[in-house]
């Protein structure tokens, strides 16, 4: 049975902005679900409605078997972390982290053990007696995470909680979050616009656009079997390449292929497998990223990106032939943007 269930959930703000346009979605107990989409697509509004900080204009929210649609945040047993954290300035780091446990009347000794454990995992042990004003922004954000995760509510709600951290810390915190969540099995709804973070963390990703859900799926499904042109382009770095394909019946078809599924061959070399579609072009950009290189190849059908090994011999200015494995091509209806096969 679903643990969190959103049914026909909608939010229109008083100024008429339709932030969320009637979405349906269910999460199982213990699932880590990421709401992913570009700025303004309605992720935060959805999360705030689950938290009880915004009242829906229509639809229902069920949490742990109860209809919580009209309940205030305090009656929902949710724990949240937002990008703009607010620590209690007059309390030490240890007291900030212990605060939710003190509210729940946990005995002091058990509280101290829980705080010491989480502080060790977050690298905050040496800072426990400091006040928030003595910490950097990144350290304060980690304290906020610790304070939220020291308790085990029905659901954790997180809105870009790693937003203020540098790249190194972000990776470490992703690991921490996932480990904590797997150990506690607390159902988690996490908002981000960063698709790499979404892939790294999620059991399932909900991709949103313009207040609607485009696709719900595992990271692999969303990457490999995108439901729409939007998902195919938004997920992946860089996103899928698109080629205008043949017309089928009345509708036009767009073909999609991931950069790693584009094979780069010498322009006049031996042809690939019989029947493999190919295009000729010139390498106009060569981006090195350590483990691979992205070659941008200008062809008559537009510029396509091919991901090749970091030590591949092809260089800027080379004339090449691009080949596509037909099994890796995805076909979309151009008018609706939905995938055909």
Residue 8 beta carbon to ligand ATP: minimum distance, rounded to whole angstroms: 17
Examine residue 13 and tell whether it contacts ligand ATP (CB under 6 A). Answer: yes
Minimum gap (Å) between residue 40 Cβ and ligand ATP: 4
Question: Could you give the CA distance from residue 278 to residue 297 in angstroms, rounded to a whole number?
Answer: 13
- Left if phi > 0, otherwise alpha if psi is -120 to 50, otherwise beta: which for 41? alpha
Q: Provide the minimum distance between the beta carbon of 238 and ligand ATP in the complex, in angstroms, as a whole number.
A: 21
Using CB under 6 A, which residues numbered 16 to 35 contact ligand ATP?
A: 17, 19
Q: Which of 40/337 has CB closer to ligand ATP?
A: 40
Q: Which of 234, 225, 164 is nearest to 196 (CA)?
A: 234
Contacts of residue 131, defined as CB under 8 A and 6 or more positions apart, other chains included, come to 89, 90, 91, 92, 93
Is residue 39 close enough to count as binding ligand ATP by CB under 6 A?
A: yes
111 vs 209 by CB, closer to ligand ATP: 209
Distance CA 199, CA 191 (A): 12
Q: Per the structure block, which two tokens stand in for 126?
A: 């040496």
Q: Report the residue from 25, 27, 33, 42 that binds ligand ATP according to the rule CB under 6 A.
A: 42
- Alpha carbon distance 110, 247 (integer Å): 67
# of chain residues touching ligand ATP (CB under 6 A): 13
In whole angstroms, give the CA distance from residue 8 to residue 24.
Answer: 5
Report in angstroms how near the CB of residue 68 gets to ligand ATP at its nearest. 19
Q: What is the DSSP secondary structure assignment for residue 259, as one 8-state letter?
A: G
Task: Name the 3-class secondary structure at 229.
Answer: helix
Q: Report, in Å, the least distance between residue 35 CB and ligand ATP.
A: 8
Q: Is 293 helix (H, G, I), strand (E, B) or coil?
A: strand
Looking at beta carbons only, is 194 or 260 nearer to ligand ATP?
194
Cβ at position 308, least distance to ligand ATP in Å: 33
| Span near ligand ATP by CB under 6 A; candidates 12-20, 95-103, 220-228, 278-286 | 12-20
Nearer to ligand ATP, 16 or 269 (CB): 16
Q: Does 308 bind ligand ATP (CB under 6 A)?
A: no
Give the distance from CA 134 to its chain's centroid. Answer: 32
Q: Is 268 in the site for ligand ATP (CB under 6 A)?
A: no
Based on its alpha-carbon atoms, the radius of gyration of the chain, rounded to whole angstroms, reads 24
Residue from the set 9, 23, 34, 37 that interacts with ligand ATP by CB under 6 A: 37
Q: What is the DSSP letter of 206?
A: E
Any contact of residue 43 with ligand ATP (CB under 6 A)?
yes
CA-based nearest residue to 28, from 59, 54, 62, 58: 62
For ligand ATP, the closer of residues 17 and 129 by Cβ is 17
Least CB distance to ligand ATP at residue 25 (A): 15
3-state secondary structure of 75: helix
User: Nearer Cβ to ligand ATP, position 41 or 94?
Assistant: 41
- Per CB under 6 A, the list member of 22, 30, 40, 277 interacting with ligand ATP is 40
Instruction: Please tell me whether residue 259 binds ligand ATP under the rule CB under 6 A.
Output: no
Q: Does 261 bind ligand ATP (CB under 6 A)?
A: no
When the beta carbons of 85 and 242 are compared against ligand ATP, the nearer one is 85
Alpha helices in 29-163 (DSSP H): 43-51, 93-103, 108-122, 137-149
The helix or strand, by DSSP H or E, that contains position 250, with its residue range, turns out to be none
The answer to whether residue 44 forms part of the interface with ligand ATP (CB under 6 A) is: yes
Residue 201 — φ and ψ, nearest 5°? -95, -35
Segment 181-220, which members bind ligand ATP (CB under 6 A)? 193
**Which positions lie near ligand ATP, rule CB under 6 A?**
13, 15, 17, 19, 37, 39-45, 193
């Amino acid at each position: 049975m679903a643990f969190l269930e959103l049914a026909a959930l909608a939010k229109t703000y008083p100024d008429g902005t339709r932030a969320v346009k009637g979405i349906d979605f269910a999460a199982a107990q213990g699932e880590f679900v990421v709401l992913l989409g570009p700025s303004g697509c309605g992720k935060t509004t959805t999360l705030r409605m689950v938290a009880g900080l915004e009242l829906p204009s229509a639809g229902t929210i069920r949490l742990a078997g109860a209809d919580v649609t009209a309940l205030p945040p305090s009656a929902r047993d949710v724990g949240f972390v937002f990008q703009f954290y607010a620590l209690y300035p007059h309390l030490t780091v240890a007291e900030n982290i212990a605060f939710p446990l003190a509210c729940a009347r946990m005995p002091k000794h058990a509280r101290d053990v829980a705080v010491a454990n989480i502080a060790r995992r977050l690298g905050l042990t040496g800072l426990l007696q400091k006040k928030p004003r003595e910490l950097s922004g990144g350290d304060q954000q980690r304290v906020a995470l610790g304070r939220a995760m020291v308790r085990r509510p029905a659901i954790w709600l997180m809105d870009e909680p790693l937003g203020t951290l540098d790249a190194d810390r972000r990776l470490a915190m992703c690991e921490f979050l996932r480990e904590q969540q797997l150990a506690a099995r607390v159902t988690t709804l996490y908002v981000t616009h960063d698709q790499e973070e979404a892939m790294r963390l999620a059991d399932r990703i909900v991709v949103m656009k313009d207040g609607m859900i485009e696709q719900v799926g595992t990271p692999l499904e969303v990457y490999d079997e995108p439901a729409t042109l939007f998902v195919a382009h938004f997920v992946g770095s860089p996103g899928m390449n698109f080629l205008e394909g043949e017309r089928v019946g009345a509708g036009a078809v767009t073909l999609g292929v991931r950069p790693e599924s584009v094979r780069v061959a010498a322009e006049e070399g031996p042809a690939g497998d019989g029947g493999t579609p190919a295009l000729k072009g010139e390498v106009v950009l060569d981006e090195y990223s350590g483990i691979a290189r992205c070659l941008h190849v200008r062809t008559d059908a537009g510029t396509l990106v091919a991901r090749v090994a970091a030590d591949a011999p092809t260089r800027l200015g080379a004339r090449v032939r691009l080949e596509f494995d037909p099994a890796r091509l995805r076909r979309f209806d151009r008018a609706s943007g939905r995938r055909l096969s």
